[in-house]
Structure 1
Amino acid sequence: MVRVNVLRIDIKSQVQSLVEKYGEKTCNDIKDASPRRPHGGEYAEGWVNDIIEDTAVVHNVGRDKSLTHLLELGHATKNGGFVAPQEHIRPAYLKNKEEYLNELKSIKIKPQ
């Protein structure tokens, strides 16, 4: 006869705290790296972090939120020129993604 013991492991709370931590960290990194006008900064201050169904969603809710695509990827001007991209979202995401994944690997598994 084989006896099987059920092992219950709950890591959801640890993972959730990491999601919240790195969502906020990513949001702050994007704010810090966002381009600013000389007497403005509304675009940079519009970045927020929301937790939706156990997922961190970093997005811009400010008045200038529609600039994210143009600033991140660059855009054409009216006179036929091109404005170079000012990447600020992708670098913050990639940096925090690596840190998040590394910290996920170090979660302590504790039986309940």
Structure 2
Amino acid sequence: MFVATGALKEEDSVSSLESRAEVVTCYNAGTALADQTINNVLLDFCSHVIGTGVGPGATISNRYILSGGDSVLFSATALPSCSFIIDENCSRLLQEPLNQCNVNSNNKQGGFETDPLLS
């Protein structure tokens, strides 16, 4: 299972997002899936949710069932006092746990990324 979460302000630009203090937390447990398999599903998820608004405390998610019965879950949750619109940063933000967790393996267990709401 792979979960990525974050919270962004609607007015954030690409450059402001790149300078924020994003924090990745790795699961280091559970079923490990091939990095490329998860990336393919990640791109599909993002292609369907770009432009979607997520209100305060709300979650948007989709679970993908893979051949063999494994599943991959992608989600984005707005912090209780935040809202955001999913934009072209979707795949970059969701790939953070893939790139920073299980770094010595091509099999990934995932984790989540938190993008704190800055005032």
TM-score (norm 1): 0.30
Larger Rg: 1
TM-score (norm 2): 0.29
Instruction: Identify the structure with the greater helix proportion.
Output: 1
